[in-house]
Amino acid sequence: NTLTEKNEYEILAVFKTVVYTDSPEAFKYYRFTDAQSPEEFDAYIEKCKGLSLYDTGVSAEYGDKLITLSTCEYSRTNGRIVVVAKKVTESSGANAPANDGAAEIPS
């Protein structure tokens, strides 16, 4: 979301990895920005889903917009837990929902 847009995403993968290493188990997910071909996109999605801690039932295809969230994960040195999701809806400006769906408390 931004100040002028509200979007919805579906999680397609949640996985753990390590950074700042040349270890073969490290997945440099942070280097993926814009796929130059359907094959490059599919390879990235396949790697994410292969590492995923569980099957979300969601996939993506070339042209979908993705968001990647990453934070520290302390079960190993330089560990990260990563959430990859695809954008499923978009609204902006005057069409953006007035709230985030939270219930309003009557006064």
- pLDDT tens per residue, range 1-12: 678 888 999 999
Top-ranked range on mean pLDDT: pick from 26-30, 34-38, 79-83, 88-92: 79-83
84 pLDDT more than 90: yes
Q: Which CATH class is domain 5-89?
A: mainly beta
Burial code (b: 16+ CB inside 10 Å, e: under 16) for 36-66 equals eeeeebeebbebbbebbeeebeeebeeeeeb
The domains of the chain are located at 5-89
Average pLDDT value for residue range 13-27? 87
Q: Which tokens belong to 87?
A: 């954008």
Tell me what the pLDDT averaged over the chain comes to. 85
107 pLDDT more than 80: no
